[in-house]
Structure 1
Amino acid sequence: MRVRYVHRGYFPARAGAELMTQYLAEGMARRGLDVRMHSGRMDDDSARFMAGMGIRVEPLPRTVDPGDPDRPDVVHAFDAFHPEDLRAGLELARAWGVPFAVTPASAPGVWPDRETVLDACRQADAVFVLTTAERDMMDAEGVPRRALHMVTQGPHLPGTADPGRFRSVHGISGPMVLFLGRKMRSKGYTVLLEAAPAIWERHPDTHLVFLGPRWDDDCLEQFRAHADPRIIEEGLVDEDDKHSALAACDLVCLPSTVDVFPLVYAEAWACAKPVVASDFAGSSEVVRHGHDGLVAAAAPGPVAEAVCRLLDDPAERVRMGRQGNEKLRRELTWDATTERVRQVYSALVSAQRHKEGAR
């Protein structure tokens, strides 16, 4: 089976949608599928990264030949944050006369062009969603129920964890709270910054560590306004530092308000760390409040209270981290997701061939 993915990525950042595309493509390649990535803007470094996983990266074709013997069997576009990529994928699939699949991967609150996204999803043969809340939203927007397929995702931490080194390098001896992700307001980094004084009232030796690309134009100004030796801010870090930070922290705090299923939560649970989340559509499905983390309103007071609750009670913190890890092992694996998506591809291709044979 030949599959063509359409996604541009966020290089040099690596956002959740990009990681989902890469891990799925890698899993399909391991299963023997002919996998290629089409991108209108992927740069040489991203292409080399994908090539290292055995995935060929090509520009978006300007023209296609429906009779090309090398035409794909399925086109799959990722990430509604780039609606033009969904449109390009749909046009390629229709020109080749093959099934079209979409993984929106991002929440409607960050879609730049809602109608383009929904139009692509309504015309898609398969739409992969991560929560029942996302599925119900798509259903309400006119996406055929038969096209909606629930999938999960899992962590991918290829780096080598050295939590002691991470703490030593940054001078951290007490509690450590980690924010990991793009520093954009909808992810909640400013909320955690504003929660810092209330956290320090109860746990004055706590370090707040922020890792990830600086996304907002005034990101550095925000950190200057909250400057304190107990706040550590770095931009992009390598896989070793990322894994080390997750292993070194006491909890992960990503109070996102516009999300579907932050991959960071799965990465936290992979390291047996609890999470502090905020309300977004489907958040209660992703984080079981009081079981593998806490869900708090996206405001400094509630976030500070949730963080302090976990810092107050090490036994509860450890219990939630372990339960998150157990859930991860039981429900959230890339192998299961890849197999589920492959089965949908196979059904689509069989139906397409049956249709062509009946003509």
Structure 2
Amino acid sequence: MIDPRIARFRAEGAEPAMQIGFYAPLKAPNHPVPSGDRQMARLLIEALRLGGHAVSLISTFRCFSATPDDAERARIAEGARDEVASIAAQWGDRPALTPDLIFAYHLYYKAPDLIGAALARRFDLPYVTAEASHAAKREGGPWQAGHALVEAAIREAAVNFCFTANDRLGLAEIVHESDRLIDLPPFIETSRYTRSPHPETRHGTQLVTVAMMRPGDKLHSYRFLAAALMRLQHLDWRLTIIGDGPARSEVEAAFAPLPPDRLVWRGALAGDAVADALMTADLFVWPGFNEAFGLSYLEAQACGRPVIAVRGEGTPSVVRDGTTGLLTANHLADYAAAIARLLTDPALRAAFGEAASAFVHGERTLAGAAARLQSGLDRARQPMNGAAP
């Protein structure tokens, strides 16, 4: 059902409310490598379109730099200038291509927006960001150049959509007008993740985890999960692991001490296959070190599955500790104890599952996001009340 707050934009045959130019400096929504960034970019576009807007991708140019190397930054800056010049020439020759507003997703010090912000300035267009990050600790350090570019874009934006409370606090340091900071809690397309009856577990409690296998925080989370489960071999459980990537061998090595019959390796899955796996599990386990928020947590909860994660900066934005799951300290014993608690208390697990489903289907839907986005876009098209601080 279409949310009544945005139904007015969906009249049959209606002209688009706005032409929106979308840009993601870190990773374009059509990038070939799956990731949470790519998924969130696609969800934002879908929500904007649900609100009646025509959305076009203005560029796939990546502004991401893995290191603060001056030569690398210069190469990216030169490429970005060429890209801006090319797009500007197209818009100049065909004004109908020029959007009404530019929407930039996920700016941070390693991936400043060198395309959308520049085009907004050149064509005097309203500029909006979502999940922009202002990290004051980068001031004056090796990433100062990228930090300064992101700060300038945030200050110039008519509206900045904040996914988490932590993001909002960072932006509030440089954006003092509260109406230019609009909360947009992480959301998913919930229709794929409909409730299912609690499964009969013939071979113990069914655990599931879904994550890419790559070095860094993902690998650390896999190793932490394996170590926690090593402590719980006296309990009856099975773990389904969904994911793949360049660290696959290291992940397999981390779980090698566990009995093979405790593990089911599914590899990389997508879409309905992930939903099916979540709905046949009892409990979602993923530590999630340094997750910005983690869409997989919302997907699991939408299926009525409680979550157990490590409390970080972003996880409280998608898991309600003690209501839809458990968030623990970054201590192996605490994490293992949380898993044991829900493994051995089916009634609590069921109560958390009910609350999890109600939370996501009630508060984190595409339609709800479309309504929040519309509120911000209406604000963005109003004249700014003075310059940014």
Match of 2:123 in 1: 96
Residue number in structure 2 paired with 1:290? 322
Moved more, 124-133 or 315-324: 124-133
Change (3 A) 1:264 1:251: same
> Match for 1:64 among 77, 88, 95?
88
In the other structure, the counterpart of 1:177 is: 207
Pair 1:154-2:171 in alignment: no
Q: Is 144-153 or 267-276 further displaced after alignment? A: 144-153
Name which of 21, 26, 29 aligns with 1:4. 21
Question: Which residue, 138, 152, 155 being the options, matches 2:171?
Answer: 138
Match of 1:226 among 255, 274, 278: 255
Distance (Å, rounded) in 2 between the aligned partners of 1:271 and 1:351: 43
Matches within 5 A, 1:69-80: 69-80=96-107
Are 2:36 and 2:294, in contact at CA under 8 Å, matched by a contact in 1?
A: yes
Partner amino acid, structure 2, of 1:6: Y
Residue 21 of structure 2 aligns with an amino acid whose one-letter code is R
One-letter code aligned to 2:19: R
**Unaligned residue ranges in structure 1 (runs of 5+):** 43-58
Distance 1:287 1:220, change over 3 A: same
Task: Name the aligned partner's letter for residue 195 of structure 1.
Answer: A
Call closer, same or farther: CA 1:186–1:24 in 2, change over 3 Å.
same
Q: Which amino acid aligns with 1:150?
A: D
Return the offset for 1:19.
2.1
- 1:149 and 1:160 map into 2 onto residues whose CA distance is 27
Q: 1:106 to 1:267 in 2, by over 3 A?
A: farther
Equivalenced residues, count = 328
Q: How does 1:32-43 map to 2 (within 5 A)?
A: 32-40=52-60
Deviation at 1:39, TM superposition (A): 3.4
Q: Contact 2:51/2:371 (CA < 8 Å) preserved in 1?
A: no
- Letter of the aligned partner of 1:24 in structure 2? L
How far did 1:307 drift?
0.9
RMSD: 3.4
Equivalent-residue separation in structure 2 for 1:312 and 1:107 (angstroms): 42
Return the alpha-carbon distance in structure 2 between the equivalents of residues 208 and 221 of structure 1: 17
Q: Give CA-to-partner distance per residue, 1:330-353, whole Å, 9 cap, x none.
A: 32111111121122212222427x
Given residue 20 of structure 2, which amino acid in structure 1 is its aligned partner? V
How far 1:325 moved relative to its partner?
1.3
- Which position in structure 1 is the counterpart of 2:243? 212
Which ranges in structure 2 are unaligned for 5 or more consecutive residues?
Answer: 1-17, 63-81
Q: Residues 295 and 106 of structure 1: is their aligned pair in 2 closer, same or farther, counting only changes over 3 Å? A: farther
TM-score, length basis structure 2: 0.73
Shift in alpha-carbon separation, 1:258–1:119, aligned structure 2, 3 A: farther
Query: Does 2:217 correspond to 1:186?
Result: yes
* Shift of residue 95, structure 1, vs aligned partner: 1.8
Alignment of 1:17-28 (within 5 A): 17-28=37-48
Deviation at 1:310, TM superposition (A): 0.6
- Label 1:177 to 1:108 Cα distance change in 2 as closer, same or farther (>3 A): farther
CA separation of 1:322 and 1:31: change in aligned 2, threshold 3 A: same
Amino acid at match of 1:182: M
1:160 Cα deviation (Å)? Answer: 8.4
Q: Taking structure 1 as the reference length, what is the TM-score of the superposition?
A: 0.79
TM alignment of 1:50-61, pairs within 5 A: none
Identity across the alignment (%): 24
* 1:118 aligns to 2:151 (yes or no): yes
> SS of the counterpart of 1:199?
coil
SS state at 1:200 partner = coil
Q: 2:346 aligns with which of 314, 333, 337?
A: 314
When Rg is computed on C-alpha atoms for both structures, the one with the higher figure is 2
Q: Which amino acid aligns with 2:213?
A: K
In the alignment, what sits opposite 1:325?
357
Give the superposition deviation at 1:40: 2.1
Question: Quick one: which amino acid aligns to residue 298 of structure 1?
Answer: N
How has the CA–CA distance of structure 1 residues 189 and 105 changed in structure 2, closer, same or farther, with 3 Å as cutoff? farther
- Decide whether aligned partners of structure 1 residues 285 and 156 sit closer, same or farther in structure 2, where only a CA change above 3 A counts: closer
**Deviation digits for residues 222-272 of structure 1, max 9, x if unmatched?**
312422412333432132220111101111112123133211121111101
Higher alpha-carbon deviation: 221-230 or 153-162: 153-162
Q: Contact (CA 8 Å) 1:107, 1:260: kept in 2 or not?
A: no
1:134 offset after TM fit, Å? Answer: 1.9
CA distance in 2, matches of 1:71, 1:39: 13
Deviation at 1:60, TM superposition (A): 5.8
Question: 2:170 corresponds to which letter in structure 1?
Answer: M
Secondary structure of 1:128's counterpart equals strand
